[in-house]
Amino acid sequence: MQKILTTLVAFTLSVAGAFGQDLPTCNIYLFDTAWRDSVLTFSDPQFLTGFNKNGYNNQPYFINNTELLMASAAPNDNQTDIYLLDLGEKSKLRLTRTAESEFSPKPTPDNLYFSVVRVETDEDRSQRLWQYPLDRQGEGKAVFKYLRGVGYYHWLDRFKVALFNLTSGDLNYLSLADTRDAAIQNLSPSVGRCFQNSPNGRLVYVHKITDGNWVIKALDKNTMAVSEITKTLSGSEDFVILKDGSILMGKGSRLYRYHPLKSTAWEEVVDLKKTGVTNITRMAISGNGKLAVVNGG
């Protein structure tokens, strides 16, 4: 693996659509989170993408507590590849080197592959769900051969995957697909790009009912029952879920928390402006509480 430089900042806070367009400049920061006397704390900020600080660095996803997948492209380059960051070794490994662009890397449930949304080089710029072996021994393959409008996705189990499915024009559906027979079930139109699992196994997502009414909802994949959790922060759609079931969502430089069983409104928990984070978008959290935050994008 190639060594990367990680910028450390002395800082501790304690407080109660479609791809293929011009890529924005965005970077990934890392924070340690912990609970101290029922207070969520953020400490030890690290700048993970100094090796490409003027480029595109996005869609972080933890394989485990020390390895982080991400999509990256050099400045002024619209072709992305997938990288693996080793946080312990402070190193990076390039996992793909293709003519196509790959986005949204995640390990498959069997941990033998990593999956991506791959933007094909055909005239229609088809967006298909692909998987590549994590050990890089062998070539990748399409998960669904004929499904060409995948914007985002989330594995529910070894065979079923939730999709942000672009059906025509700007219309998208939350769809459930089965890798065994490629069956597709369209559930709800106009969903957001972020999917997460709740501690009780429900699929949590954003339903964009109207331009000014975005609601976080939860789907029971066994009964298919849908329940409403709360409205999003205005204009925000990215979030992560903590072990206690509470939701973190960002707006500007600030993170807010909402607990489905305890909160009546979003509560600000931290302002990350002093670390250089001014526009929080996507996030990922590890099992031991490391929080990756994308600034921009």
Q: What is the pLDDT of residues 117-160, one digit of tens each?
A: 999 999 989 999 999 999 888 889 999 999 999 999 999 999 99
Q: Would the pLDDT of 169 be above 50? A: yes
Q: Would the pLDDT of 10 be above 50? A: no
Categorize the per-residue pLDDT at 190 as very low, low, confident or very high, splitting at 50, 70 and 90. very high
Q: Would the pLDDT of 18 be above 50? A: no
User: What is the spatial distance between Cα 24 and Cα 295, in angstroms, rounded to a whole number?
Assistant: 11
DSSP string, 8-60: E---EEEE---SSSPPPPBEEEEEEEEEETTEEEEEEEEETTGGGTTSEEEEE
Residue 187, phi-psi category: left (phi > 0), alpha (psi -120 to 50), beta (remainder): alpha
Write down the pLDDT at residue 167.
86
CATH architecture for segment(s) 2-295: 6 Propeller (2.120)
Write down the pLDDT at residue 83.
98
8 Å CB contact between 30 and 48: yes
Mean pLDDT of 102-125: 96
8 Å CB contact between 132 and 116: yes
Mean pLDDT of 205-222: 96
Q: Would the pLDDT of 9 be above 80? A: no
Q: Would the pLDDT of 19 be above 60? A: no
Q: Where are the domains of the chain?
A: 2-295
Q: Which pairing describes strands 39-47 and 7-8: parallel, antiparallel, or unpaired?
A: antiparallel
Query: How many Cα atoms occupy the beta-carbon half-sphere of 109 within 13 Å?
Result: 9
